[in-house]
Chain A
């Protein structure tokens, strides 16, 4: 690939890929890169996805991030978000301050829950998201303090815990992929522990290993994350004309 492709654009496409094959469901992105990924997926290879403005409306067309000229195609107030996720008609991409090898994730607090060293958001809708609809993650800084052996508070349920619950949750639970500034990872391994899918241009497998605080499943051949197609590049520019993605992933 050409050196002129910005890393943020490779990552935007890697995020978009999370929704490939999802069809006519709510593609929900919590954060700039996550929203960009969902909107690029819809603008190119997954045209039936439902996209919200992050407030209360489903929007049609290629709404730029932060854009106010909305072509409303539906209403999705918070109550409907809860209904939709419980119905499984949603795939959300969240952030995580910590994540472990089975995809247990944490946005709630760092340090012991009873008296946290750092109070973050709280579990928010993470518990309900992860047992009800497909969940992916974008993590802008891949490092051992984020990819940890054990998270301090399980706000998002990982594969080991979902299996322990059993029944419907074990059967339907799905963590689709984890996109970071270094690599793409998923849970397609025999015990659903985290697997390296691809490394971004200029990143080595060793870089990923060194920045991960647990053992990864690493296939014999790890490809390089693909660059955007011409259509995807155009969509990225349309949806993020101000280049907000570069603030999350400096070039």
Chain B
């Protein structure tokens, strides 16, 4: 008689394996906020793929900028795109100013949260006041309002639910089964991105993969907002959020971020940057970053 015993799912994969499950035209949610704890190694892998025509939902930072620069975005659902310490994201600006994002969809920050929350609860919408009276209503004519069925009868904005085909988030720690941990000051909306995503393509990259019994060694149980039922694939990605923050493992690489912005100013400089850092695999990216730091340091020494 066959054994009734079976093994738990093995979820450890690479960035490229995760990306190989995506298809053009999908709706992708990307966690983090601005230039903070972005799943950049997954984004870099996506840049190397043929996937295009994406609908991207993000509290946008360089993830959105890079995907716009690569022409992969058909529809962008955003409230802002910013590098935080450098307020304006250069590729996003260019894409908007040249109107190369076919369907820009600009919402209030709170509306994005509500749309993901509604998606995670399998509700068609959630009501809010955020957006009413603002330009958001003017540039999104498909948004509808509902009236409260109670005595107040207030008219509220019905934020339509977003269900994602794929979600990327970057965490400080995860076990091999996808119990993931943030050790920094804010989980942002990463748990909602995973919860609003159809099972199958919910990907967590992490600085360190640790045994389950070590999950409470570096943080309290409050840091365990993401459990394995919300995750399909776990990617070991040391320095995977670079050049964005990943507190407390590392802060933002401000000088690299500045180099990124400087390179985006003209197409030749961007091609050189892109050839050097983004054409190879993740290991190449990381080794080029190390080499770049050495060059900057040597140049500073020489200037003394």
Contacts and interface: CB of A to CB of B under 8 A. Distances in A.
Nearest to B132: A165
Given A55-B185, A122-B79, A167-B155, A116 B129 contact: no
Given A82-B109, A125-B79, A56 B186 contact: yes
A156 to B, nearest CB: 7
A162 B134 CA distance: 9
Contacts of A32: none
Interface string B82-112: 1000011000110011110000001111110
A128 B108 contact: yes
B109 A128 contact: yes
Nearest to A162: B133
A93 interface: no
Contact of B131 (A77, A85, A118, A128): A128
A109 interface: yes
A130 to B, nearest CB: 7
B136 interface: yes
B189 interface: yes
A8 to B, nearest CB: 21
A126 interface: yes
B187 A119 contact: no
B118 interface: no
B269 interface: no
A123 B136 contact: yes
A177 B110 CA distance: 24
Interface in A54-70: 55-57
A108 interface: yes
B110 A86 contact: yes
A78 B113 CA distance: 10
Contacts of A114: 99, 139
B80 to A, nearest CB: 4
Q: Is the interface of A mostly helix, strand, loop or mixed?
A: mixed
A121 interface: yes
A46 to B, nearest CB: 26
Given A82-B110, A119-B93, A154-B138, A124 B80 contact: yes
A92 B159 CA distance: 24
B203 interface: no
Contacts of A156: 134
B129 A168 contact: yes
Contact of B136 (A116, A117, A127): A127
Interface size range of chain B in the complex: 35 or more
A227 B33 CA distance: 39
A131 B129 contact: yes
Interface in A160-189: 161-162, 164-169
Contacts of B154: 167-168
B110 A123 contact: no
B108 A125 contact: yes
Nearest to B90: A119
B129 A86 contact: yes
Interface string A79-113: 10010011000000000000000000010110001
B99 A117 contact: no
B99 A131 contact: no
A125 B128 CA distance: 13
Contact of A127 (B113, B134, B187): B134
A153 B107 CA distance: 12
Interface in B144-196: 152, 154-155, 185-189
A77 B186 contact: yes
B70 to A, nearest CB: 18
Max count, chain A CB within 10 A of own CB: residue among B135, B139, B155: B135
Contacts of B133: 127, 130-131, 154, 157, 161-162, 164-165, 169
B125 interface: no
Nearest to B185: A56
Contact of A113 (B88, B107, B135, B188): B135
Given A131-B132, A154-B138, A168-B154, A115 B80 contact: no
A71 interface: no
A120 interface: yes
Contacts of A167: 152, 154-155
Given A115-B98, A127-B131, 6 more contacts: A55-B186, A78-B188, A164-B133, A165-B132, A168-B129, A169-B133
24 contacts: A55-B185, A55-B186, A77-B185, A79-B113, A86-B110, A86-B128, A86-B129, A86-B130, A114-B99, A114-B139, A119-B97, A122-B106, A123-B106, A124-B80, A124-B109, A125-B109, A127-B135, A128-B110, A128-B129, A128-B130, A132-B130, A157-B132, A157-B133, A169-B132
